[in-house]
Structure formats: structure tokens, C-alpha cells
Structure 1
């Protein structure tokens, strides 16, 4: 078992590697710009993931539909696992790999964005959602671990944390979610505060 000190040292090391990874930081900024452009055009943002990544997807949607730093109008965002009746019905009637893709088919339009979160980059239902997003003309942002997994092939923007440790990946996903949320909020609404 690792100590708290060891875990803190590991998370600092991963964040330091990310801070030195200019292409990664450029992708994070580009995602913020993409969401801003989409919102200005009336688009929406959808998120999906499993387990901790589902929690991160819901967290991201809440930052956009609520507010992050200051009070402002809500932005259209939805975590695709939020409707438990849809999730259980589609998993039962079809299969679990279809749950996010089917939700996208019913709601997403060209110009929208899907934020697909998978620490491994290999979650079958997230991969299917990304493939469906591509078919629908929806931009795909993949938030993964270091390799990007199979999800990297579907990504218009790849945010791949430089680690293979699930906990460290999720910690940095939250940092990037907050950075993107702040960028979007300030760019769209800073003059209104």
C-alpha cells in the first residue's frame, strides 16, 4: 500500500509531465475554443463515461449548465448516463455497449460535441458513442490515459493524460475539465459580470 505522501508525489509528477507537454496543453485550449464556437452557433455538448469517468462527465455537464466561477446563463450540456430509465431500458433491450450511442442518435446534431471519457480509451460503450458521433457530424473530444487506447482513432481532439494509473488520470481529467469550463465561461460571458 502506498502512503499519502507517495500518492501526492505521484500526482505532482503526472501534473508536472502534463505541464511540460505542449501538444497536450494546446489540445486542452483547442477544446475550450471548440466549445465556445459551438455554443456561439447554438450547439450542445454531450459527455459519457463509466464509473469515475461517468462522475467526471456529470461534473463537466454541471459546470456548464450551472456555473463555474461566476453567475451567467446556462449552457447546453448533458451527461448521457443521467437518464437511468434510458440506460437500463437500452441495456436490457439491446446491450450495454449501445446505451450512449442510442442517446446520441436521439439528441445530437451536426456541430455538437461529444466528450468521451475513458481512462483506458477502450470502453466499448464509449467507443461506440464516439463512432456514432462521427457518423452524426459531432466533434469528438477523447479524454483518456497516456496511450489514448482505441478511442484515439475517433478523436478530433485527444486529451491523453501522461499516465497509465487510473487515479492519476482521473485527477488530471478534473483539472482539464475545470480549465476548459473556466475558458468557456470567461470567453462567452466575461463582459456580463
Structure 2
């Protein structure tokens, strides 16, 4: 027996599948995903690290994807240098309370980032002020910035060195694609660095 909940489930799954098909058919987006993986591979080969930042669901995605690099995705191999800037609760609460939330990630980029690192900046709107400030801080330190964005990419699109913009207005679907793209990046990194 059909009901509105079933319709909702099917509609969401179909929308997600359709969005993945659109991205797979886009030579530009496929090239950008490949280019992002190549940047990450070069960075890790040089002994540098990947930093991740985002808010809310994008914070969770940052932690998830950073963990895939440190731990493993598909291949048992040495850990890779990756750090989510969303995990230090003492710093997050102290800095946000005492100074302000807008500079939370840029402060960590300033303290932990090095010339030659990569900053992975996640924002479904492309407008998150603290993510934007982190991207600008990264530029000052000669850290390459890769942005996973949604909608029209917002202001972060033009500030990042490489932007992967999910062509959707639906925050949930954008975040789902960010995880998919993140998994692809981690798989490409692992395969290139460790598969024999």
C-alpha cells in the first residue's frame, strides 16, 4: 500500500540519483574532481597535510573525510596527514566565545597550516563567513584551497583555487554529493599512492 511517506522516500532517492547522473555527465565537474585529487596527491607526496573545515553537516563531513585519509578507505596502508579543524572542542568554544565564530577556522589555518598544505573548504551555500575567512587566510600562507560548494558557489567560488560546485539548491542533496565527491577523492588518493 502506497502512502505519502513512500512518495517522499522515492522522490528523494530519485533526486539524489538524478543529481549524481548530471554530475557524471559534466566533463567540467569530473575534471575538477580529478584535478582536486591530483592536488591532494602532490601535497601528500611532499609530506604536507590536508586541512578540512565546514559548519554543521559540513563539519561532520569534514571530520568523516579527514578520517578516511588518516585511517583508510579501501586499502590497508600508512596513515595520511589530514586534520579536521572542527574537532577541538576546547578551542572551538574558547575562540568562539572570547573572540568570535567568524575567525574560528582562519585562526587554526594561521596556527596549523603550512606553505604547501591544502585546505578543503566545505560550504553548501558558498557564503559561510568563517569558511571564506579560512580560504583567505590560507591564501596568505600559500596553502592551496579546494572548495566543495553548492547552489551557485557563492563568494567562496571565486576565492578558492579550485571549486567543485554541486548544481543544486537542496542542502541535503548537496551534502550527500559532497560526501560522494570526498569518497572519490580519498579513493583516487589511496589508489594513486598505494595500489601496486
TM-score (normalised: structure 1): 0.96
Could you tell me which runs of 5 or more consecutive residues in structure 1 were left unpaired when the two chains were aligned.
Answer: none
Once residues 16 and 35 of structure 2 are traced to their aligned partners in structure 1, the CA distance between those partners, rounded to angstroms, is 24
In the TM superposition, residue 154 of structure 1 has moved relative to its aligned partner by 1.3
Aligned to 2:122: 117
Aligned to 2:37: 32
**Structural RMSD (CA):** 1.0
In the TM superposition, residue 12 of structure 1 has moved relative to its aligned partner by 1.2
Contact kept? 2:126, 2:151, Cα under 8 Å: no
Aligned to 2:162: 157
Could you list the runs of 4 or more consecutive aligned residues of structure 1 that deviate by over 4 angstroms after TM superposition?
none
In the TM superposition, residue 148 of structure 1 has moved relative to its aligned partner by 0.7
Paired residues in the alignment total 191
Aligned to 2:149: 144
In the TM superposition, residue 22 of structure 1 has moved relative to its aligned partner by 0.8
Aligned to 1:10: 15
Aligned to 1:134: 139
Q: How does 1:26-105 map to 2 (within 5 A)?
A: 26-105=31-110
In the TM superposition, residue 166 of structure 1 has moved relative to its aligned partner by 0.4
2:27 corresponds, among 22, 27, 35, to 22
Could you tell me which runs of 5 or more consecutive residues in structure 2 were left unpaired when the two chains were aligned.
Answer: none
Larger Rg: 2
> What are the Cα deviations for residues 20-70 of structure 1, in whole angstroms up to 9, with x where unaligned?
111111010111111110011111000000010001100110000000001
Contact kept? 2:73, 2:186, Cα under 8 Å: yes
TM-score (normalised: structure 2): 0.95
In the TM superposition, residue 184 of structure 1 has moved relative to its aligned partner by 0.3
